[in-house]
């Protein structure tokens, strides 16, 4: 999921979609209610709709799955459309966002399975390794709640800082317990981080923005998130009660297939990683 826009409920975990509106539902009315119709899945354009389109074009027919992809450019409508049955599923978010959305909106959407991660990475034009960061160096962080917490967790996991034991997914610099290099932190809107890299000593940048800026997460990141077991993995979501829909089960299986793993690896150059 792309990771920058702040919305009324919370911030998604993966990248800079412009808040806008897209058509909801389907002309034939096939959402979650019509089990004989196509499974309509709401998705962000990249990489979610790209992955779904690959499944639709290359894999779905063999499994007897009629799949329809509806693109949305905001982070609210995919969930509301899934809740009201206009679509049968969605693929655009990570579980912390879903949990927060359910809590704040009284919805009963449920997680089906992990699919991919858009990893955060620490980048620098001044250091080639994380331990080369100078004492007192300035590190830029995404300024939204979800991604700032992720960024600090990344630094903690790699021994650059140590967070307090009770620091949650919404950690801030105030939750740092140990800062051996006396790092200073500058909060910047996530989409602006790549162009700010020359003005700071290092920056934690989302995978999609890194690639757009000509950075390779595989080659250029000093440290980066791992995909397996990562709470910010993006996945398939349905309304409670639809988990056993045969169409949903088929799609979940295909999204975790070796063919999709290879497609993600080949197409996205480390900016998106399989999380299964």
pLDDT in tens, 113-130: 999 998 999 999 999 999
Residue where a domain terminates, one of 206, 224, 242: 224
Mean pLDDT (whole number) for 93-120: 94
Q: Look up the domain containing 156 and give its range.
A: 120-224
Whether 186 and 142 have beta carbons less than 8 Å apart is answered as: no
Q: What is the pLDDT of residue 16?
A: 34
* pLDDT tens, position by position, 181-190: 999 999 999 8
Higher pLDDT, 159 or 271: 159
Assess whether 112 and 150 both reside in one domain: no
33 confidence band (pLDDT: 50, 70, 90): low
CATH of the domain at 161: 3.40.190.10
Of 184, 180, 181, nearest in space to 134 by CA: 181
- Residue 194 and residue 131 in contact, taking contact as beta carbons nearer than 8 Å: no
Q: What SS3 class is residue 43?
A: strand
C-alpha closest to that of 149 among 141, 137, 160: 141
Instruction: Specify whether 64 is located in the same domain as 157.
Output: no
Task: Quote the pLDDT of residue 269.
Answer: 79
Look at residue 3 and tell me if it is in a domain.
no
Higher pLDDT, 77 or 15: 77
Classify residue 80: in a domain, yes or no. yes
Torsion of CA 194, 198, 202, 207, to 10 degrees: 20
For residues 151-179, give the mean pLDDT: 96
203 Cβ contact partners less than 8 Å away, ≥ 6 residues apart = 122, 123, 124, 139, 140, 141, 188, 193, 194, 196, 197
Q: Are residues 168 and 77 in the same domain?
A: no
Q: Is residue 21 part of a domain?
A: no
Residue 103 to residue 95: CA distance in whole angstroms: 12
Q: How many Å apart are CA 34 and CA 133, to the nearest integer? A: 57
Q: Name the pLDDT band for 212 (thresholds 50, 70, 90).
A: confident
Q: What is the pLDDT of residue 227?
A: 80
Same domain, 201 and 155: yes
Same domain, 241 and 171: no
Q: Mean pLDDT score of the chain, rounded to an integer?
A: 87
Q: Give the per-residue pLDDT at 36.
A: 77
Does 23 map to a domain? no
Cα separation of 194 and 181, whole Å?
A: 23
Can you tell me the distance from the alpha carbon of 222 to that of 127, in angstroms, rounded to the nearest whole number? Answer: 8
Please provide the distance, in angstroms rounded to a whole number, between the alpha carbons at the two ends of the chain.
15
pLDDT (average), residues 74-88: 95
| Residue 74: closest CA among 11, 117, 21, 38 | 21
126 shares its domain with 253: no
For residue 250, being part of any structural domain is answered with yes
- 129 and 186 part of one domain: yes
Contact (Cβ atoms closer than 8 angstroms) between residue 107 and residue 77? no
114 lies in the same domain as 126: no
**Does 104 share its domain with 241?**
yes
Residue 31's pLDDT band, with cuts at 50, 70 and 90, is low
Q: Is 84 a domain residue?
A: yes
Return the higher-pLDDT residue of 178 and 228.
178
Q: How many domains does the chain have?
A: 2
Better pLDDT: 237 or 169: 237
CA 9, CA 29: separation in Å to the nearest integer?
27
Same domain, 66 and 91: yes
Q: Specify if 186 maps to a domain.
A: yes
pLDDT confidence of residue 1: 52
Looking at the domain assignment, is residue 33 inside a domain?
Answer: no
Does one domain contain both 177 and 167?
A: yes
For residue 95, what pLDDT is reported? 92
Q: Which of 122, 251, 112 is nearest to 193 (CA)?
A: 122
Share of the chain above pLDDT 90, in %: 70
pLDDT band with cut points at 50, 70 and 90 for residue 169 = confident
Q: Note the pTM of the prediction, 2 decimals.
A: 0.74
Question: 179 and 165 in one domain?
Answer: yes
């Amino acid at each position: 999921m792309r990771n920058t826009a702040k919305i009324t409920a919370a911030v998604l975990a993966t990248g800079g979609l412009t808040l806008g509106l897209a058509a909801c539902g389907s002309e034939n009315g096939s959402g979650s209610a019509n089990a004989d119709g196509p499974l309509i899945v709401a998705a962000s354009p990249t990489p979610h709709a790209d992955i779904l389109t690959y499944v639709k074009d290359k894999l779905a027919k063999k499994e007897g799955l009629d799949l329809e992809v509806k693109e949305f450019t905001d982070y609210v409508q995919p969930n509301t459309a899934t809740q009201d049955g206009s679509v049968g599923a969605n693929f655009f978010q990570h579980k912390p966002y879903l949990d927060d959305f359910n809590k704040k909106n009284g919805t009963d959407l449920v997680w089906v399975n992990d699919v991919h991660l858009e990893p955060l990475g620490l980048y620098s034009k001044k250091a080639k390794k994380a331990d080369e960061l100078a004492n007192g160096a300035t590190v830029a962080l995404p300024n939204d709640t979800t991604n700032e917490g992720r960024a600090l967790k990344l630094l903690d996991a790699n021994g650059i800082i140590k967070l307090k034991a009770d620091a949650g997914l919404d950690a801030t610099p105030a939750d740092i317990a140990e800062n051996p290099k006396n790092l200073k932190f500058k909060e910047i809107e996530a989409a602006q981080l790549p162009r700010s890299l020359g003005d700071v000593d290092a920056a934690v940048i989302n995978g999609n923005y890194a690639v757009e800026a000509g950075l390779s997460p595989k080659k250029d990141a000093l440290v980066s998130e791992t995909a397996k077991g990562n709470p910010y993995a993006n996945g398939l979501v349905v309304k409670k009660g639809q988990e056993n829909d045969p169409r949903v089960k088929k799609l979940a299986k295909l999204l975790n297939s070796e063919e999709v793993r290879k497609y993600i690896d080949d197409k996205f150059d480390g900016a998106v990683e399989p999380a299964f």
